[in-house]
Structure 1
């Protein structure tokens, strides 16, 4: 995955960006637009964002079902109770942002980076994640039940109450996680890479799942 710029000016399309002060609209196509400090609560389902930058954007209860984000760059966002079900993300980055109460079931994320983000109460059931990185993030109460994860990594991230029940994993690298809080235990971990220390931490859950009683005396 290419290096993700930390600064707006470092985006390859930064010189093409044009300020967009207006509201978001359903089914609208936005190309090389810069949304800065936008606050939005309405309907924008099916909107398309191509080579767009969204900085300091606050969405509260907004509807972006089936929205498309292609080469989008999101920084300092606060999205609460936003509907992103069946949305499509490709070659995009979300940096220093808070996403809480998100409905993102059935979404597709390909080559997406989350860096220094907080994801809380996020529903990604049945989602597709391919080449996705969660770097230095907090994932709390994130539901990935039935999702398909391929080439996903979590360097420096903390996982709390992350559910993988029924998920399909391939080359999912959990070794860089600061903490693995998996309430479903080993269920859904087939196809994941974990470290030795993590294996010891998860040992009680593995033993319970296998019906093993561990006693030293």
Structure 2
């Protein structure tokens, strides 16, 4: 039931209405032990790793646990709760993080290449310097820190052929993406409103129909990026690199409301 509630709430949030955004965490008792405490110790997790073979931590309560530096490649963490957990430098490459909870978790420098993140709740989490290349982050990262992160080839675009629960897409609202590598990332119809993309590399990224309203792209590289129907109302498009090579640059939405000159 918890997983279904999270997915339904995520679909409502991704659809866009402000009222839906306030319902994102409804249905979950954030003060419950399942959301705030760990039912296992680090030693317990290390013992599972030592046994060899795929580690299954699906549905486990691991909130607040220090799992920094562990090798959790390919681990099944589906629907697990890791709120405020420490995973600094942890290797989660190829892990199943679908419908998991990472509220205010610290994943700085973590390896998440190819990780599956459909329905993930990672508000205010720290992914600074992390590797999310080729990951599939269809979830809520509102307020997260992804500064300096590697998101090259990330698959965060909405799949319009599979929308039985509404428009499921990556939610990067108010996310810190300064200096992030987003080369070739698919962020079609993703929410990037008020995101900080200063100095980010968006070369060849797909921003088709993305919401960039209020975002700060000062100094970002946009060569080859697809901007068709991207909403740039109120966005800061100052000192862009490769603007002349951006695709469908003239097909942006609310381009007349974008900020193209630095204030003096």
| Residues 175 and 69 of structure 1, relative CA distance in 2, 3 Å threshold | same
Residue 60 of structure 1, CA deviation:
2.4
Question: Distance in 2 between the 1:190 and 1:29 partners?
Answer: 44
Residue 13 of structure 1, CA deviation:
10
2:256 to 196, 203, 206: 196
Q: What's the counterpart of residue 151 of structure 1?
A: 209
Question: Distance in 2 between the 1:2 and 1:180 partners?
Answer: 29
* TM-score scaled by length of structure 1: 0.80
| Residues 131 and 39 of structure 1, relative CA distance in 2, 3 Å threshold | same
Gaps of 5+ in 1: 203-217
Q: What's the counterpart of residue 229 of structure 2?
A: 171
Question: Distance in 1 between the 2:200 and 2:105 partners?
Answer: 22
- The answer as to 2:68 corresponding to 1:58 is no
Q: What's the counterpart of residue 81 of structure 1?
A: 129
| Residues 143 and 71 of structure 1, relative CA distance in 2, 3 Å threshold | same
Question: Distance in 1 between the 2:27 and 2:215 partners?
Answer: 25
Question: Distance in 1 between the 2:22 and 2:180 partners?
Answer: 24
Q: What's the counterpart of residue 140 of structure 1?
A: 198
Tell me the SS of whatever aligns to 2:107.
Answer: strand
Tell me the SS of whatever aligns to 2:132.
Answer: coil
Q: What's the counterpart of residue 46 of structure 2?
A: none
* TM-score scaled by length of structure 2: 0.67
Q: What's the counterpart of residue 207 of structure 1?
A: none
Residue 53 of structure 1, CA deviation:
1.5
Deviations 1:48-81, CA, capped at 9 Å, x for gaps? 1111111111122211110110011111111221
Q: What's the counterpart of residue 154 of structure 2?
A: 107
2:62 to 13, 17, 20: 20
Deviations 1:181-201, CA, capped at 9 Å, x for gaps? 2233343025323432548x4
What RMSD over aligned residues (CA atoms) do the two structures have, in Å? 2.6
Aligned residues: 199
Tell me the SS of whatever aligns to 1:144.
Answer: coil
**Structure 1 segments of 4 or more deviating over 3 A?**
4-9, 11-18, 21-24
Q: Bigger shift: 154-163 or 189-198?
A: 189-198
Q: Which is richer in helix?
A: 2
| Contact 1:45/1:63, CA 8 A, preserved across alignment | yes
- The answer as to 2:164 corresponding to 1:122 is no
Q: What's the counterpart of residue 208 of structure 1?
A: none
Q: Which is richer in strand?
A: 1
| Residues 61 and 191 of structure 1, relative CA distance in 2, 3 Å threshold | same
Residue 140 of structure 1, CA deviation:
1.2
Gaps of 5+ in 2: 1-10, 15-20, 36-59, 158-168
| Contact 1:168/1:190, CA 8 A, preserved across alignment | no
| Contact 1:38/1:57, CA 8 A, preserved across alignment | yes
